[in-house]
Amino acid sequence: MSNAGSKAEDLPLLSSGFVAKVTAVVLVIAALSVAINIGARMLGDRLVIAGHTDSTEVLTIVVGQDALRLPANTLRFASQRHSGLTERVDLAFLWPEMSGYRREYRDRFDDVSRSDGLIFLQLSQSTMSRDMSGRLDAIYDHLFEGSPKPFSHGLVEHRLRPGTGFDGEIVLTAARPGEPDYVVRCLMPAAGQPTSSGDCQRDVHVGQDLTVLYRFSAKLLPDWAKLDSSVVGYVSDRVSKVQTADLQ
């Protein structure tokens, strides 16, 4: 056998260079697999959270003459989740917990068929001198048609005249000892139709110059007193008069 043949027989089947290249490729594939797995989990979390956040960081948001200290997970829109001046801020809460978004309750935020589990607030600088209770005698009483009639849960129903700009809506009121009458406007769903989180709306004045407009499902009307005190109490506990530090 020639020397050339002997040298050829002594060579390894796989060169060290080839093994190194294969090993490098395997490592790259493994790294990509890990990255894809992690990325998929992160994307999955983002899809679950959608536009929500579970951050409880407290933000200082100034609306007119009022400074509000609100957890980030109560703010509906990502564009509003920052401290500073704004004309309006929108909030969403679980009912009856009055808490913001939490991952374990994501179905309650995203399932439109469970509209009675959420309430929505819009906070803005007041543009009217009276809130909804104050407008009962000044405005609504002049728009009613027919006699009031009992509704349920201590509420009284008032029908509004056609052409007043509130077509299809009713006004529900309730006397409250030592306080102005409770007043709420509702667009009641027809028989057999589902309710929505915007069936009823009421606005109240809080703080220095803040209007709190809140919307909720007609299914929550039995809890109207608790709902109203919870909304007013929540905002009142987190609002203060604007100080110089709040504007910086």
- Per residue in 204-219, pLDDT (tens digit) is 999 999 999 999 999 9
Q: How far is CA 121 from CA 44, 75, 224, 228, in A?
A: 29, 9, 15, 12
Q: In whole numbers, what is the pLDDT of the chain averaged over residues?
A: 84
Residue 45: pLDDT band with limits 50, 70, 90: very low
Highest mean pLDDT among 39-48, 143-152, 190-199 belongs to 143-152
Structure tokens at 27: 């490592």
Each domain of the chain, given as residue ranges in start order, spans 3-49, 58-247
So what's the pLDDT on residue 15?
57
Q: Give which of 83, 59, 84 is closest to 71, Cα–Cα.
A: 59
What is the chain's length?
248
Return d(Cα 129, Cα 126) in angstroms, integer. 7
Long-range CB pairs of 172-180 (<8 Å, 24+ gap) are: 172/200, 172/221, 172/224, 173/136, 173/148, 174/224, 174/225, 176/225, 180/133, 180/134, 180/136
So what's the pLDDT on residue 241?
93
Structure tokens at 166: 């509130």
Q: Give which of 236, 145, 162, 153 is closest to 200, Cα–Cα.
A: 153
Residue 33: pLDDT band with limits 50, 70, 90: very low
So what's the pLDDT on residue 41?
40
Q: Give which of 92, 90, 87 is closest to 63, Cα–Cα.
A: 87
Residue 20: pLDDT band with limits 50, 70, 90: low
Q: Exposed e or buried b for every residue in 222-240, given b needs 16+ CB within 10 A?
A: eebeebbebbeebbeebbe
Pairing of strands 58-63, 84-85: parallel
Least confident segment among 18-22, 64-68, 125-129, 212-216: 18-22
Per the DSSP assignment, residues forming a β-bridge with 241 are 66
What phi, psi does 83 have (nearest 5°)?
-75, 155
Pairing of strands 118-125, 88-94: antiparallel
Residue 117 has pLDDT above 60, yes or no: yes
pTM of the complete model: 0.78
Q: Give which of 159, 88, 94, 95 is closest to 127, Cα–Cα.
A: 88
Q: What is the pLDDT of residues 125-156, one digit of tens each?
A: 999 999 999 999 999 999 999 999 999 999 99
Higher pLDDT, 182 or 6: 182
